Amino acid sequence: MTERVFENHFSDRDGSSDVVLPDGEFTNKLERERRVLELAGVLEKDLVKHTNWNDVSVYTGTTGVN
């Protein structure tokens, strides 16, 4: 290993991955992130589907939504 300017208190990466557990299931962190992205997609789809683009009032409209 090369010399470092600052001392590294962490061990070198061993190449293993925390994405898939030995039984083939996703880790909880990855599953939560996937679920958040899925819900964001539903929200975006519903925004386009249920938005009245003619209502531009500050209180109920689409001001600032793009």
- Tens digits of per-residue pLDDT, 14-36? 766 656 666 666 667 777 788 89
For the chain, the C-alpha Rg in angstroms (whole number) is 23
In angstroms, the CA 22 to CA 18 distance is 10
- In this predicted structure, what is the pLDDT of residue 62? 61
Q: 3-class SS at 43?
A: helix
Q: What is the pTM of this model?
A: 0.40
Please give the mean pLDDT across all residues of the chain: 74
Q: How confident is the model at residue 38 (pLDDT cuts 50, 70, 90)?
A: very high
